[in-house]
Amino acid sequence: MKKNRMYNTFHETLSMSLPSISSILELCVIKNGIVNLEDIKNYTNLGSNYIKVMPRYAQACGLITLKKYGATSFGDTVFNLDPNLRKPATLWLMHYHMSAPHGPGPNFWNCVVSNCFSIGNEINTADIINSIGGSLIGPNGKELGIRAKRDCASAILRTYAKSDGFGALGILREDVSKYSVLQPDPPPIGALAYALADYWDGVFGDRTDVSLNEITSSNSFISLFFIGQGILANMLSDMQRKGFVQVRRVAPPYTIVKLWTNKESLLERIYE
């Protein structure tokens, strides 16, 4: 699996701020990708630390490109239809990009979401530190120390608990000294279809069909959306009616056939 992703300590202890990312995305779109840190300093109200860190969050969420500050196709769509980053489809897809096994989010983010964010769990910073373990690798190829792991744990927990982060998704609730993992409402069908197309490109490549087990097994696609197999079955039926996929359930192994030509063709439907 080819991985092109944000580095693990990108956050510098800061959690994500939706208003900050919204202002950065607007600037990237208006200036057509010709943006640098000096532009962000001059044209936004962000503080010095946010100027460095929030563009990295925007990149890890799939809104702007990793190699330069230009809006992605997803970022362009979001800017046109949800510039304040408030719609569930936008938040779910930002979360998805942060958490996908192939990036662009950091490796530890996928590790934590896959291994710690199980519905009904009560988790704390120590649980996150234990989970990320060896996934926190620095530029020198060595595992980072306990302080860096604690900073990563703090950044991801606060991002999902805060209202200006992913709090509106209803995945985490902050309690005294711990966080509870909740059952969130599922994403809109169009958003799930686009995420599946991106996941398909990153994990399955050129294959035209996959077995249902390949997206429903532990730590696979549906775990990123906290969807049980029963809910997924209903959502796949809806996706089939809308022409996103064909589901073959005549005899095991059940398979899913993709009906899209490229994931960009699904962008205009993510808010369905």
pLDDT averaged over the chain? Answer: 92
Q: Which domain holds residue 130?
A: 18-181
**Tell me, what's the pLDDT at 134?**
65
Give per-residue burial for 189-199: e unless 16+ CB within 10 Å, then b: bbbbbbbbbbb
Domain boundary among 158, 181, 204: 181
Residues 26 and 92 placed together within one structural domain of the fold: yes
- Decide if 4 is inside a domain: no
Q: How far apart are the first and last CA of the chain?
A: 30
Q: Per residue in 140-198, pLDDT tens?
A: 667 778 898 999 999 999 999 999 999 999 999 999 889 999 999 999 999 999 999 99
**Interval 42-59 mean pLDDT:** 95
Domain boundary among 119, 148, 181: 181
- Decide if 3 is inside a domain: no
**Tell me, what's the pLDDT at 2?**
46
**Tell me, what's the pLDDT at 136?**
67
Residues 216 and 158 placed together within one structural domain of the fold: no
Residues 128 and 23 placed together within one structural domain of the fold: yes
Number of domains in the chain: 2
- Decide if 44 is inside a domain: yes
Here the CATH number for the domain that contains residue 238 is 1.10.10.10
Which phi and psi angles does 2 have, rounded to 5°? -75, 130
